[in-house]
Structure 1
Amino acid sequence: MPKKRNHGDGALYFLKSRKLWRGVANAGFDANGKRVQKYVHAKSQKEARAKLEMLIAEIEENGAPLDKSMTVEAWAKHWLDTIVPASNPKPNTIKAYRSIVNNWIIPVIGRKRVALLKPSDVRAVALGITDAGRSTGTASKAHNVLSGMLEAARLDGVAGRNVARDVIAPTVLANERGALTTDEALAVLRVAARRLDGTRWWYAILAGMRQGERLGATLDAIDFDRGEFTVKWSLTEIGFKHGCDGDCGKTRAGACPQRRYNVPPGLKHRALQGRLALVEPKSGKSRTFPLIAELAEPTRRYLEATADRPTPTVSSGGTTTGRRSPLSRTTTNGAHSCARPASSRRRRLCARRIAPQELPSPRHRTGLATPPRPC
Structure 2
Amino acid sequence: MADGRRRNRRDYGTHSVYQRADGRWYAAIDLGLTERGTRRRITVSAKTEPAVKVRLRERLRELDEMGDTDLSTRTTVKQWADQWLPLVERTLRPQPYIASRSAVRRWIVPTIGHKQLVKLTPRDIRAVADAQRAAGLTTSTQRRTHSVLRTLLTDAQQEGYAIPPRVLAVKAPDKAVSGRTDVPVELAIRLLGIAAELPHGSRWAAALLQGMRQGECLGLTWDQVDLERGLLVISWQLQPLPYRVARDRSSGFRVPDGYEARQLHGRLHLVRPKTKAGWRVIPLVPWMRSALLAWREIAPENPAGLVWPTAAGTPTLAKNDDEEWYALQTTAGEGHPDGRFYSIHEARHATATLLLEAGVDPTVITAILGHSSIVTSRGYMHVRVAPLADAMGKVADRLALGA
Match of 1:189 in 2: 192
Q: Which has the higher helix share?
A: 2
Match of 1:119 in 2: 122
Match of 2:269 in 1: 277
* Aligned residue among 286, 293, 303 for 2:296: 303
Match of 1:338 in 2: 329
What does the per-residue CA deviation read over 1:294-331, in whole Å, with 9 as the maximum and x for residues that have no partner? 322222222222155666522x2232x33456544443
* Aligned residue among 66, 71, 80 for 2:76: 71
CA RMSD between the two structures = 3.6
CA distance in 2, matches of 1:298, 1:96: 38
Task: Give, in angstroms, the shift of residue 117 of structure 1.
Answer: 1.5
CA distance in 2, matches of 1:186, 1:171: 36
Identity percentage over the alignment?
A: 31
Task: Give, in angstroms, the shift of residue 291 of structure 1.
Answer: 1.4
* Aligned residue among 122, 134, 139 for 1:136: 139
What does the per-residue CA deviation read over 1:282-301, in whole Å, with 9 as the maximum and x for residues that have no partner? 21462111112132222222
Question: Is structure 2 residue 104 aligned with structure 1 residue 104?
Answer: no
TM-score, with normalisation over the residues of structure 1? 0.63
Structure 1 regions of 5+ residues with no counterpart? 1-9, 16-28, 32-63, 242-250, 344-349, 355-375
Match of 1:80 in 2: 85
Contact kept? 1:139, 1:170, Cα under 8 Å? yes
Give structure 1 regions of 4+ aligned residues with deviation exceeding 6 angstroms. none
Task: Give, in angstroms, the shift of residue 336 of structure 1.
Answer: 9.5
CA distance in 2, matches of 1:323, 1:138: 33
Change (3 A) 1:221 1:111: same
CA distance in 1, matches of 2:287, 2:198: 15
* Aligned residue among 214, 229, 246 for 1:211: 214
CA distance in 1, matches of 2:225, 2:137: 39
SS of the residue aligned with 1:196? Answer: coil
Contact kept? 1:240, 1:254, Cα under 8 Å? yes
SS of the residue aligned with 1:172? Answer: coil
Alignment of 1:1-375 (within 5 A): 65=70, 67-82=72-87, 84-86=88-90, 88-161=91-164, 163-241=166-244, 254-256=248-250, 259-284=251-276, 286-306=279-299, 313-314=306-307, 316-319=308-311, 321-324=312-315, 326-331=317-322, 334-335=325-326, 338=329, 342=333
Task: Give, in angstroms, the shift of residue 89 of structure 1.
Answer: 2.5
Contact kept? 2:309, 2:315, Cα under 8 Å? no
CA distance in 1, matches of 2:332, 2:314: 34
CA distance in 2, matches of 1:269, 1:311: 13
Match of 1:56 in 2: none
CA distance in 2, matches of 1:290, 1:99: 39
CA distance in 2, matches of 1:337, 1:111: 50
What does the per-residue CA deviation read over 1:337-363, in whole Å, with 9 as the maximum and x for residues that have no partner? 8179649xxxxxx9xx98xxxxxxxxx
Match of 2:47 in 1: none
1:71 maps to a residue whose letter is T
CA distance in 1, matches of 2:324, 2:141: 18
CA distance in 1, matches of 2:167, 2:209: 39
Match of 1:244 in 2: none
SS of the residue aligned with 1:103? Answer: helix
CA distance in 2, matches of 1:210, 1:144: 25
What does the per-residue CA deviation read over 1:196-231, in whole Å, with 9 as the maximum and x for residues that have no partner? 334332222222222111111111111112221111
Contact kept? 1:270, 1:279, Cα under 8 Å? yes
Change (3 A) 1:147 1:162: farther
SS of the residue aligned with 2:322? Answer: coil
Task: Give, in angstroms, the shift of residue 335 of structure 1.
Answer: 4.3
Structure 2 regions of 5+ residues with no counterpart? 5-30, 34-68, 335-340, 345-403
Change (3 A) 1:302 1:134: farther
Larger gyration radius, structure 1 or structure 2: 1
Corresponding pairs, count: 276
Match of 1:40 in 2: none
Task: Give, in angstroms, the shift of residue 265 of structure 1.
Answer: 2.2
